[in-house]
Structure 1
Amino acid sequence: MNTHTIDTTAPVISADAYDTTAFYADAGAIATVTNTTAPDAVALPPEDASTAELLAAAQEAGRRAVPAPLAETALVARPLLRRVGLPVPDGSLSYAIAPELTVRYAHPAASPVGSAGCLGDEDTLLVTGTLRRVPWARDASAVVVVATAPSGPVLFTLIPDQAVLTPGGNLAEEPRDDLHLAALEIPASLVRRIVPGLLDEARLRAALARSALIAGAAERCVELTVAHTTARTQFGRPLSRFQAVKQEEARLIEEAALVRASVEAAAAPLDTGGVAAHFAVAAAKTQASASAAEIARIAHQLHGAIGITQLNPLHLATTRLWSWRDEDGDETYWARHLARSVTATALWPALTAEP
């Protein structure tokens, strides 16, 4: 009878055991992870970093299961604040795209038309409603909110302490908190009126950030699975020597490569905007969400039952894949957007243009 020894020398800690606030003690680093990979920091890119550099950092955060909102901060919140000219707070940031909030002006303008609050002497807002499942809200220094005011789309900065927070989480135990607002006053200095196109950009940035995280977690699944099948012996030889295992590993590597390629291809179009950005981001999130389930299935199948346990680091990647697959739009949602973003004349250039 062949036996297999499990290496437990490196402790594995579940996500809820991390002190996420400590990760921002050093302004130059966003997190230090010692339980799954080498004990070095994933640096928060500088504010002038290119989109490609931001995506690379987000992928690395996904690979290391970094318990902090690196992608949310670098790819969504910071760029949106810079676009509208609002100051960028220090520390971790999050975002909420919430057109369903009830927003009116705190200082109504004298007008015989419309209800009170539909026009304002200035942009101070009164906001009522609930921001659902805000990523890392309890740890964020600020949340960038995109909503709809009577005058059109607006973007404002919210301090989480100003709201009533109901803690929540996803399958990977990452914070996904509800923020309840009851006629909360947002000063005009933290409010900017935005064009509808920026609302679309916020959705695209959120979806691409989640896709980059999925790409990193997929890479981690490949690393762990190849290491396991190489080390684990059965019937006198490593699992990786069996043809059926080789075939499944090849499919795993293929799916991970598809996700990585689609994410990298979306970097340049996101900077240019327009139809190309919608096409590239929709393709990236559709591919990432569609591949997430298959990547997790193959990784767990080749690990056997051990992969889902707290003693094995695989669960840190796969529970995130299952969670991130649905967040910021699943594959069905983005496949519809992908179909709408192209026409007969635009499809071929979109497929053949260099990234």
Structure 2
Amino acid sequence: MNTHTIDNDTPAISADDYDTTAFFADPDAIATVTNTTDSHTVPAPGPEAGTADLLATVREAGRRAVPAPFAETALVARPLLRRAGLPVPEGPLTYAIAPELTIRHAHPASSAVGSAGSAGEDDTLLVSGTLRRVPWARTATAVVVLAGAPFGPVLFTLAPDQAVLARGANLAEEARDDLHLADVEIPAARVRRIPRRLIEEAELRAALARAALIAGAGERCVELTVAHTTARTQFGRPLSRFQAVKQEEAKLIEEVALVRAAVQAAAAPLDAGTVAARFAVAAAKTQASASAAEIARIAHQLHGAVGITTLHPLHLLTTRLWSWRDEDGDETAWATRLSRTVTADNLWSALTAAP
């Protein structure tokens, strides 16, 4: 649960069922807002679901501000485990892409050929270092880690209780924890050597998951904003009747539509595993991160002062937008990667090809 508390003795106002009239009619209901959305209320797709179906449910999770690693589990961790040939644990999962870890064989080979630790009797590993700002690490049953070892890239699963966990959070108070590892032994059964392209796929999946969450949160911002400007009156008529308000609402809807279209267009290329996936995902995350600030700005401007308070559900969305904008690469980082995927010869086909 994502709960903002000032005084625990006062009633909680559900962000899922916010009613301005009822709230102000209760003089004691002044302190607490609870997001009561349960992660189980968003149906999880089956293991055979394609990326388009996964994106639709992740978008819905973003719209409801689900306080759980839904996107991390469905769109990143589970597909990567299947691709690597590892069993998929039950429960919520998360991920970490960590090239800075120190990894060596727990059972070094007796041969002196090669650098120390580059060969072992098996693939049991000793891992040291820090996994920084792992999404929802404290609630996950396992962390899917992708890292570089002396013998090449590896993917392995880590139980959070194997590490020293330092709690952290983003602006929306979603868990972003550091996991400190000191010669943690990872059994060979939980380790897979992987091609380097799987690390790139992990980066693409993480970025696309964040973009889909932004799309969903943006859709909810539109719903709340339209409802507010329709219900709120000024000078004897609803705010939505004023031309300036209409123009801002149109901009808001446009930004959300851009993000949603870019996210949807990335589904087929990612499923196909083609080079086009790099272009499509980079475009989606660039657009999503760039639009996040504008979506939040317009929504708050049209809500007025009430929208910035913890007593209104809008803040559950906009604080997430500001956080997700930077996570897994902001618009500058992904715009740079986007530019590297195109040349004068393939730019037009990249822009006009059907997804």
TM-score if structure 2 supplies the norm length? Answer: 0.91
What is the match of residue 217 of structure 1? 217
CA distance in 2, matches of 1:102, 1:305: 49
What is the match of residue 312 of structure 1? 312
How far apart are 1:112 and its partner, in Å? 2.4
Residue type of the alignment partner of 2:106? A
1:7 pairs with 2:27 = no
When structure 1 is superposed on structure 2, of 113-122 and 284-293 the one drifting more is 113-122
What is the match of residue 167 of structure 2? 167
What does 1:1-355 correspond to in 2, within 5 Å?
6-9=20-23, 13-14=33-34, 30-31=39-40, 41-355=41-355
How far apart are 1:189 and its partner, in Å? 0.1
- Residue by residue over 1:221-275, the C-alpha shift from the partner in whole angstroms, topping out at 9 and shown as x without a partner, is 0000000000000000000000000000000000000000000000001011232
- Residue by residue over 1:74-106, the C-alpha shift from the partner in whole angstroms, topping out at 9 and shown as x without a partner, is 000000000011000000000000011001111
CA distance in 2, matches of 1:70, 1:46: 13
Residue type of the alignment partner of 2:128? T
Partner SS for 1:157:
strand
Residue type of the alignment partner of 1:329? G
CA distance in 2, matches of 1:74, 1:275: 23
Partner SS for 1:274:
coil
CA distance in 2, matches of 1:261, 1:91: 30
* Pair 161,8 (structure 1): closer, same or farther in 2 beyond 3 Å: farther
Residue type of the alignment partner of 2:66? V
- Residue by residue over 1:45-84, the C-alpha shift from the partner in whole angstroms, topping out at 9 and shown as x without a partner, is 1111111000000000000000111110000000000001
Say whether the 8 Å CA contact 1:286–1:331 is kept in structure 2.
Answer: yes
CA distance in 2, matches of 1:263, 1:149: 33
Residue type of the alignment partner of 1:303? H
CA distance in 2, matches of 1:346, 1:110: 51
Say whether the 8 Å CA contact 1:226–1:249 is kept in structure 2.
Answer: yes
CA distance in 2, matches of 1:256, 1:293: 11
How far apart are 1:44 and its partner, in Å? 1.2
How far apart are 1:14 and its partner, in Å? 4.3
How far apart are 1:111 and its partner, in Å? 2.7
When structure 1 is superposed on structure 2, of 306-315 and 186-195 the one drifting more is 306-315
CA distance in 1, matches of 2:314, 2:21: 14
Say whether the 8 Å CA contact 1:154–1:193 is kept in structure 2.
Answer: yes
Partner SS for 1:7:
helix
CA distance in 1, matches of 2:57, 2:204: 18
The percentage of counterpart residues that share the same residue type is 75
When structure 1 is superposed on structure 2, of 105-114 and 188-197 the one drifting more is 105-114
CA distance in 1, matches of 2:219, 2:150: 45
Partner SS for 1:269:
helix
Structure 2: 5+ residue runs without aligned partners? 1-18
CA distance in 2, matches of 1:274, 1:129: 33
How far apart are 1:116 and its partner, in Å? 2.9
Partner SS for 1:45:
coil
TM-score if structure 1 supplies the norm length? Answer: 0.91
CA distance in 2, matches of 1:105, 1:7: 63
* Pair 251,90 (structure 1): closer, same or farther in 2 beyond 3 Å: same
CA distance in 2, matches of 1:8, 1:201: 48
CA distance in 1, matches of 2:324, 2:332: 14
Partner SS for 2:275:
helix
- Cα RMSD after superposing both structures: 1.6
